[in-house]
Amino acid sequence: MELQLALDLVNIQEGIELVKQVEEYVDIVEIGTPVVINEGLRAVKEMKEAFPSLKVLADLKIMDAAGYEVMKASEAGADIITILGAAEDMSIKGAVEEAKKQGKKILVDMIAVKDLETRAKEVDAFGVDYICVHTGYDLQAVGKNSFEDLQTIKRVVKNAKTAVAGGIKLDTLPEVIKAQPDLVIVGGGITGHADIKGTAAQIQKLVKQG
């Protein structure tokens, strides 16, 4: 099981300073969608240059022009790029094709997908690397989480790795781990904590114990 740190509410320099504190505890650093919107793919480039041994995920949440956007994120140094499960089949297939060409990986974010079971099976057949259930900020705000959805994709996904994101904290992590995802994504549960390093260490310990 791997741990991904999501950076969403920081600028590039703040992100780099944050990762300095926790780099020994995380496998993947996510340049979150708000950071890409604010700073562009420069954020991916600078993070990868600062931490060449960490994998960097560009959370582009691609919806269209997938091949081109995967190519640009790859050129910036991303190891993993996200596309939405709600995108056209052709877009997801295009993303996979370009990622393979570039030696990169595709994570499909299933946020807002209504028929999760059906779509997860379809997307799994396209050769994507990760399928991620995700409760975004707006649904977290009304008390939702992705724990049941994680069990659904664990049941139906046969090829891709499974991932889970959205409001995961130290106290809810054991429930997540019980479902055995391949990748756990934590943002505010680490970055919003008073003790960032200590929390990342505790979360990593639980994730690695599986």
93 to each of 67, 113, 117, 163, 171, how far by Cα in Å?
9, 18, 19, 19, 37
76 to each of 54, 70, 89, 156, 163, how far by Cα in Å?
14, 10, 25, 33, 24
Do residues 1 and 28 touch, judged by C-beta distance below 8 A?
no
User: Phi, psi at residue 144, to the nearest 5°?
Assistant: -85, 155
Among residues 46 and 109, whose Cβ is nearest to ligand LJD2ZHX5? 109
Which amino acid is located at 172 in the chain?
Answer: T
Of 29, 81, 186, 207, the one binding ligand LJD2ZHX5 (CB under 6 A) is 186
Give, for 109, the enclosing helix (H) or strand (E): strand 105-109
Of 87, 95, 123, 168, the one binding ligand LJD2ZHX5 (CB under 6 A) is 168
The least distance separating ligand LJD2ZHX5 from the CB of residue 59, rounded to whole angstroms, comes to 5
Give, for 6, the enclosing helix (H) or strand (E): strand 2-7
Among residues 70 and 133, whose Cβ is nearest to ligand LJD2ZHX5? 133
Q: Does 172 bind ligand LJD2ZHX5 (CB under 6 A)?
A: no
Among residues 34 and 121, whose Cβ is nearest to ligand LJD2ZHX5? 34
Among residues 32 and 67, whose Cβ is nearest to ligand LJD2ZHX5? 32
The least distance separating ligand LJD2ZHX5 from the CB of residue 101, rounded to whole angstroms, comes to 26
Do residues 109 and 132 touch, judged by C-beta distance below 8 A?
yes
The least distance separating ligand LJD2ZHX5 from the CB of residue 42, rounded to whole angstroms, comes to 17
Binding residues for ligand LJD2ZHX5 (CB under 6 A) = 6, 8, 30, 32-34, 59, 136-137, 165-168, 185-189
